[in-house]
Structure 1
Amino acid sequence: MTPTDGKPGRRRGQELENALLDAAWDELNDHGYGAFTIDAVAQRAGTSRAVLYRRWPTRDELAQAAITHAVRTVVRTVPDTGSLRGDLIAMLLDFNETRSQFAAMLSVHLGAFYAETGQTIADLRRSIVREESGPTVQEIYDRAAARGELDPDRLTPRIANLPFDLYRHDIMVTLQPLSEAAVVEIVDDIFLPLVRPRPA
């Protein structure tokens, strides 16, 4: 039913949950986990503590849910430029727009979260990755292998993750998006020589 008094209707279901998680994410970004409380999120979301506690009994569960929700809301695309080099450069530069804030959050704002829960950045990242869906970099590698640009036998799991691990490392150290020159260096000088087919 549409309200007749000009005020927004009561939020329910997924709409309410999204609003709560958006508020929690904003609270983490503004104040970090050290000052993160259920009360503060409830006030920001314009709701009661009980509404939050019914869904997330502890603040660490709420924080982790908020981070996962924020990742899910980012529209993920896998570039198809026609070359492995072009695809990886395009994807890493896109991460500057979509992922650099997450990297800063994981390294700067969540120190108290790791101390309180015993988790590490790697643990949190793995739990987020498990929740992600949609296109993945494996599509880029599969296309490149079909074009003969990489040797699948040389693409070990560690090497497959290497461009993104290097990207995340720089972001977490500098708290700044990577320059295009740094992205090109990761792809051209470090990654591609490791996966190109060896001469017969």
Structure 2
Amino acid sequence: MDLDGDGPQRRRRGAELEAALLEAAWAELAEHGYGALTFDAVAQRASTSRSVVYRRWATKPALAEAAITHVGRRDKARPPNTGSLREDMLAILRHTNEKRIGLMALTISFLGGYFQETGTTPYDLRRLVLHDGPTVLDVVVEQAVARGEIAATLPPRVVDVAFDLFRHEALMRLGPVPDAVLVEIVDEIFLPLATGSVRSDP
């Protein structure tokens, strides 16, 4: 069935059609990996023709990059504002643990062929997903400074340390990180570095 051909079905256009194609490409990557990704498989999954996919992305790397960027931005966390730096950081990590863990696992497990073919790294791919401007972590730190929880804007390495540790745990496990580990990362590593103090309560 070709929903984008000349048949009686409603034709998808513009952003709706592109989103359907990228969701199909993401599903193919997640299920079969980069090596097995084909334009025909994406077209079949999206109920359209190969030419519809090909005229938007002329190469397999371009299609994979577009799909990963689409999913990464679709599931991006919004900056929380719970009134507490601790709770804000936990909210970010829990959202990522729930919504973006598949993206992390796929990056390390299924994209080896992509990195070899393009000569890039997971770091390069991550940059494609991020928008320019302040990150969610930057925003919650700025909020904490405004509330007086921390004295000044933190060094970038301190801002990123909780997420870096979370990413390591996720990649080592190739799956979700236990919530108790998220709490340990925030309470035992991030907050002491950010505030210069050690929490005594659990």
After superposition, the C-alpha distances for 1:86-122 in whole angstroms (9 at most, x for unaligned) are 1111221121111111111111111111111111000
Q: Decide whether the 8 Å contact of 1:76 with 1:134 is kept in 2.
A: no
Alpha-carbon distance in structure 1 between the residues aligned to 2:33 and 2:166: 23
**What is the SS of the residue equivalent to 1:55?**
coil
Q: What is the match of residue 11 of structure 1?
A: 12
Residues 168, 25 of structure 1: CA spacing in aligned structure 2 closer, same or farther, 3 A cutoff? same
Q: Decide whether the 8 Å contact of 2:77 with 2:95 is kept in 1.
A: no
Q: What is the match of residue 40 of structure 1?
A: 41
**What is the SS of the residue equivalent to 2:131?**
helix
Q: Which stretches of structure 1, 4 residues or more, deviate above 6 A after TM superposition?
A: none
**What is the SS of the residue equivalent to 2:11?**
coil
Q: So what's the TM-score if we normalise by structure 1?
A: 0.88
Alpha-carbon distance in structure 2 between the residues aligned to 1:90 and 1:66: 26
Report the Cα offset of residue 158 of structure 1.
1.4
After superposition, the C-alpha distances for 1:24-83 in whole angstroms (9 at most, x for unaligned) are 011101100011111211121122221111110001100000011112222633222211
Matched, 1:139 2:139: yes
Q: What is the match of residue 200 of structure 2?
A: none
Alpha-carbon distance in structure 2 between the residues aligned to 1:93 and 1:82: 17
Residues 17-166 of structure 1: pairs in structure 2 closer than 5 A: 17-74=18-75, 76-130=77-131, 136-152=136-152, 155-166=154-165
**What is the SS of the residue equivalent to 1:176?**
coil
Unaligned runs of 5+ in 2: 1-7, 198-202
The number of aligned residues is 191
**What is the SS of the residue equivalent to 2:55?**
helix
Q: So what's the TM-score if we normalise by structure 2?
A: 0.87
Report the Cα offset of residue 197 of structure 1.
5.0
Structure with more relative contact order (C-alpha pairs < 8 Å, separation 6 or more) = 1
Greater helix proportion:
1
Alpha-carbon distance in structure 2 between the residues aligned to 1:172 and 1:55: 31
**What is the Cα-based RMSD across aligned positions, in Å?**
2.0
Q: What is the match of residue 180 of structure 2?
A: 181
Paired letter, 1:186: I
Q: Decide whether the 8 Å contact of 1:148 with 1:197 is kept in 2.
A: no
